[in-house]
Amino acid sequence: MQSGIGAGDRAGTVLRVNDQVDTFSQLAAIVGEGHVLTSDGDLAPYTVDWTGRYRGTGRIVVRPGSTDEVADVVRLCRRSGAAIVPQGGNTGLVGGSVALQGEVVVSTRRLNLIGDVDRSTRQITVGAGVTLGEVRTAAERAGLCYPVDFAARDSATIGGSIATNAGGISVLRYGMTRRHVVGIEAVLGSGDVVSHLGGLIKDNTGFDLAGLLCGSEGTLGIVTAARLQLVPIHTNRTTVLIGFDSVTAAMFAVDRLCSSSDEFDAVEIFFESGARLVNETFDRSLPFDAPCFLLIEMSSNIDRTEWLAGELERVPHVVDVAVALNDAMRTNIWRLREEHTPAINTLGPPLKFDVTVPVGDLPDFSEAVHRSVHEVTSEASTYLFGHAADGNLHVNVTGIDPDTQLARVVEEAVMATVVAFHGSVSAEHGIGSAKKRFLSMSRSSAEIDAMRAIKRALDPDGIMNPNVLFD
């Protein structure tokens, strides 16, 4: 292991916080002046969220370079009563990563050490500020794969993906982030450092703090490093784009294909209107038109293209199929799916929903959700895309100012539809500040009370990301 990763437990520098708190100089004493940002220009990349909807009011960004520095920063903030918003790549989509009420932003991007791959366990320890793309590259160099993957891979950090328990395109085969975090190091809101990075395969020694921090959205502490489980890499990849005449036909195919093989890495869905928008916005070429598309990727140690072609022949209502014959074609097919988010954002910050319903209900839900928005307003456009095999649809409503009463009514209509289908109000992005008022639609009051009790225990003064999760 490289020094600086998982270094953790040293007692913090003693900081005297007097009544006239000079936050800047005290933070600078911990991390160095160059890593406390206060000018408008320096703050800009940390202040507005990826969608442009959420704007922070915080005036300080601090960039610690080690776990000890993070611990000293948290202890200082706790003593001076300053709240903290942890920030990784600032790609979160629920308004959780910016300082909405003047909090101190603690950026983890300097926690960027990457340890060696341990080949015997297929594990790696990395700093929280390392991006998903960097971990994936390190794993690939060792002939392995870190299977958490999504379009923001080159900016989203390991810490942020743990804090949101991120999903992405390979959940069907490999599960969400929590499944891959076998050890964690974090500075809790109390200022205490917890570090458990040994990566033992069996280790039933009480509460699973790594699992608890997954999905905690920065409310319990700042993740500083993680031990990640990698998986074997496969030699052959098959990527196809399939057009269907309806979402019902597409989901019939999903059911049939997923019952015949466990080698599907990605089964993604999008629709005609979104595909056209991507085409027009980024000047891409859509190989054919269809009402509904599935992007399917398999990986295996043998070539699965023929097998998949055979299966697809038995699937009804296929409009057309495009098979990626090389990497350039694969990239083009993936762009049609992954560029939905930036294409939609060019229309102005959308109302973003990230919901799951039981997979079999996805066709009925997709119709119902269009209807529910249309019943509130005819001025909005609704784009659907997502991770078909997970029952996870991203419902994006454009043409409405997200900060209006109309937007609130649309949000309530969509969420009521989700609940009517026994779905979840957040599939993979988390609750953030955007979905707080809907948490009780998916979690009972006993569950929320238990979460609050855990927060009180680990963050006694409530300084950690106070804007998110709980209303």
Binding site for ligand MLT (CB under 6 A): 93, 150-151, 341, 354, 386, 394
Stretch of 20-28, 88-96, 279-287, 367-375 lying at the interface with ligand FAD (CB under 6 A): 88-96
User: Among 68, 160, 71, 164, which Cα is nearest to 109's?
Assistant: 160
* Rounded-to-integer distance, Cα 384 and Cα 369, Å: 9
Does 88 sit near ligand FAD (CB under 6 A)? yes
Does 468 sit near ligand FAD (CB under 6 A)? yes
Does 428 sit near ligand FAD (CB under 6 A)? yes
Minimum CB–partner distance for residue 76 and ligand FAD (Å): 17
Q: Per the structure block, which two tokens stand in for 19? A: 């009544």
Minimum CB–partner distance for residue 108 and ligand FAD (Å): 4
Residues 322-341 that bind ligand FAD (CB under 6 A): 341
Stretch of 160-168, 197-205, 324-332, 360-368 lying at the interface with ligand FAD (CB under 6 A): 160-168
* Dihedral sign for Cα atoms in the order 136, 138, 139, 142: positive
Binding mask 45-74 for ligand FAD (x = CB under 6 A): -----x------------------------
196 binds, among ligand FAD, ligand MLT, none (CB under 5 to 8 A by kind): none
Q: Per the structure block, which two tokens stand in for 38? A: 């206060």
Among 108, 123, 229, 382, binds ligand FAD (CB under 6 A): 108
- Of all residues in the shown chain, the one whose CB is closest to ligand FAD is 160
Helix axes 67-80 and 23-31, enclosed angle (nearest 10)? 160
* Rounded-to-integer distance, Cα 378 and Cα 368, Å: 15
91 binds, among ligand MLT, ligand FAD, none (CB under 5 to 8 A by kind): ligand FAD
Among 12, 92, 215, 274, binds ligand FAD (CB under 6 A): 92
Residues forming contacts to ligand FAD in the complex (CB under 6 A) are: 50, 85-93, 96-97, 108, 128, 150-152, 156-157, 159-161, 163-164, 166-168, 217-218, 222-223, 341, 428-429, 465, 468
